[in-house]
């Protein structure tokens, strides 16, 4: 069976990755030796810019875990990260040509394997990229896989995804992924902090998410999240705030089958929807 490339939504851009080189489970070789000095240098520049944004903005769990990524002057070899990650939480990372379809994606997660895109953006895409690349996947997602509670959440998500497929509920899980794994915020005694990979790997969204008066920041509520559409073309209008990874894990542990049934007849909410009585967390004060 030939593997199929994947694009976001109704995009007509050809997908970037080389899907011809992937196996049936969509994994491929990282081919580290083919990376050029210019690509390593671009990765290093991205890494340095994002690291500078972390203090006071990223959650402590992320900052602590980032040290495990090691080397920041070269694109890392995936096998080096996998060795350390496996020791820490039993996860490993695998190379993929780019976005992959839901079922193989969920299967990998359910088996504690996180797919990381092999290609790096072009220099013109330094500030903005529409598809995840190796920098987004590694810098944004991999550090928290060293956190035991978050690591278990990701595996549960994978298993839940395989189940949701048969229940026609993938849209609900996609929203949960978006508003937690990609764009999640956490309330801490020191103020709001970011744990979402889409924010942490972005040049500008960190300040928007934490300090702008524009978006609303709602307390995490599983069913509210699952009903809320999201935008992939701009900074988010709404963020959902957890109090810690244990809350996230516990709130998503129950069987979703009944929740999917309850939500199915309800209309989805637009990204900026505001329901009566909902309170928004105040933005962090800038300093």
- The residues assigned a catalytic role are 136, 141, 182, 201
The vertex-180 CA angle with 179 and 186, nearest 5°, equals 110
Q: How crowded is residue 258: how many other Cβ atoms within 10 Å of its Cβ?
A: 9
Stretch that binds ligand PHE, among 34-42, 121-129, 182-190, 246-254 (CB under 6 A): 246-254
Q: How far apart are CA 142 and CA 65, in angstroms?
A: 9
255 binds, among ligand PHE, Co ion, none (CB under 5 to 8 A by kind): ligand PHE
Burial of 152 (0-12, 13-18, 19+ CB in 10 A): middle
197 binds, among ligand PHE, Co ion, none (CB under 5 to 8 A by kind): Co ion
Stretch that binds Co ion, among 114-122, 131-139, 207-215, 276-284 (CB under 5 A): 131-139
Residues with Cβ within 8 Å of residue 157, at least 6 apart in sequence = 106, 109, 173, 176, 177, 181, 252
Alpha carbon 131 to chain centroid, angstroms: 12
C-beta closer to ligand PHE: residue 42 or 173: 173
Residues between 133 and 192 with contacts to Co ion, criterion CB under 5 A: none
- Our finding on whether 256 is near ligand PHE (CB under 6 A) is yes
- Our finding on whether 184 is near ligand PHE (CB under 6 A) is no
C-beta closer to Co ion: residue 35 or 200: 200
Which spans of this chain sit near ligand PHE (rule: CB under 6 A)?
153, 156-157, 160, 163, 176, 252-256
């Amino acid at each position: 069976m030939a593997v199929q490339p994947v694009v976001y939504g109704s995009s007509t851009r050809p997908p970037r990755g080389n899907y011809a080189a992937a196996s049936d489970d969509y994994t491929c070789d990282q081919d580290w030796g083919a990376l050029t000095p210019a690509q390593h240098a671009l990765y290093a520049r991205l890494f340095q810019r994002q690291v500078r944004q972390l203090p006071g903005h990223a959650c402590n769990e992320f900052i602590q875990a980032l040290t495990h990524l090691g080397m920041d002057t070269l694109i890392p070899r995936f096998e080096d990260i996998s060795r350390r990650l496996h020791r820490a939480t039993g996860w490993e990372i695998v190379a993929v040509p780019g976005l992959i379809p839901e079922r193989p994606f969920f299967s990998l997660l359910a088996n504690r394997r996180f797919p990381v895109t092999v290609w790096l953006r072009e220099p013109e895409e330094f500030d903005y990229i529409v598809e995840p690349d190796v920098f987004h996947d590694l810098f944004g997602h991999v550090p928290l896989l060293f956190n035991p509670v978050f690591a278990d959440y990701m595996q549960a998500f994978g298993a839940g995804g395989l189940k949701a497929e048969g229940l026609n509920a993938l849209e609900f899980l996609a929203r949960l992924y978006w508003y937690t794994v990609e764009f999640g915020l956490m309330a801490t005694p020191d103020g709001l902090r970011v744990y979402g990979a889409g924010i942490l790997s972005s040049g500008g969204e960190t300040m928007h998410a934490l300090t702008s008066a524009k978006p609303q920041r709602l307390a995490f509520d599983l069913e509210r999240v699952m009903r809320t559409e999201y935008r992939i073309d701009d900074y988010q209008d709404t963020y959902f705030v957890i109090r810690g990874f244990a809350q996230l894990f516990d709130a998503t542990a129950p069987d979703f089958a009944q929740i999917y049934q309850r939500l199915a007849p309800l209309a989805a909410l637009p990204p900026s929807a505001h329901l009566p009585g909902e309170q928004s967390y105040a933005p962090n004060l800038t300093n």
